[in-house]
């Protein structure tokens, strides 16, 4: 399984032991506000969500990593790729606990993932689908060098498409 390390983060596969913390993260209305239907996940829905992530890895060979803060060993969220059948493109996304927002963790983890996506997965273009009111995610996308490319509809809601090509990416 693919593991990525940064200065402060470990991006690794999800384990069953992550479930309680994963369910707690995604039961927070502040976390889910701009995801899917915008509603917090029940424990059952969180289980399904985590299982889909694991299945995505099995079917596609890539996916979302569990994000662990290296110093504490705490699961703080997920970062990685998403491209289920019918999706608008090869997407990178990030979702972290609110107490870890504003500290550069999403940008740090997403940079490591983009390096992997462009170099190891040989993608030419990566997108991020962002709710039009999710200014924090827009800032992360812009720090990654992504630019606004258009709009689409996902889950019946408008989403902005930010994107970056391999040629525009600065491998770090």
Confidence (pLDDT) at 55: 97
DSSP percent split of the chain into helix, strand, coil, nearest 5: 35, 30, 35
If one looks up domain 4-123 in CATH, what number appears? 3.40.630.30
The Cα–Cα gap between 19 and 40 comes to 15
The Cα–Cα gap between 135 and 2 comes to 30
Sequence spans of domains, the chain: 4-123
Radius of gyration of the chain (CA): 15
One pLDDT digit (tens) per residue for the chain, 172 residues: 899 999 999 999 999 999 999 999 999 999 999 999 999 999 999 999 999 999 999 999 999 999 999 999 999 999 999 999 999 999 999 999 999 999 999 999 999 999 999 999 999 999 999 999 999 999 999 999 999 999 999 988 999 999 999 999 987 6
pTM of the full predicted structure?
A: 0.96
Helices marked H in the chain — which ranges? 19-26, 29-32, 43-60, 105-119, 135-143
Confidence (pLDDT) at 172: 66
Confidence (pLDDT) at 170: 84
The Cα–Cα gap between 66 and 15 comes to 9
* Element (DSSP H or E) covering residue 163: strand 157-165
């Amino acid at each position: 399984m693919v593991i990525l390390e940064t200065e402060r983060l470990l991006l690794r596969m999800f384990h069953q032991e992550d479930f309680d913390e994963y369910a707690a993260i995604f039961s927070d209305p502040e976390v889910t506000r701009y995801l899917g239907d915008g509603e917090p996940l029940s424990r059952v829905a969180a289980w399904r969500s985590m299982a889909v992530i694991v299945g995505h890895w099995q079917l596609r060979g890539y996916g979302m990593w569990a994000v662990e803060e290296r110093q504490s060993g705490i699961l703080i969220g997920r970062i990685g790729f998403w491209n289920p059948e019918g999706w608008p493109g090869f997407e990178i996304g990030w979702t972290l606990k609110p107490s870890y927002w504003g500290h550069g963790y999403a940008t740090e983890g997403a940079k490591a993932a983009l390096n992997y996506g462009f170099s190891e997965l040989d993608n030419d273009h990566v997108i991020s689908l962002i709710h039009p009111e999710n200014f924090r995610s827009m800032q992360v996308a812009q720090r990654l060098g992504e630019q606004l490319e258009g709009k689409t509809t996902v889950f019946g809601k408008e989403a902005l498409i930010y994107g970056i090509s391999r040629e525009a990416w600065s491998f770090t």
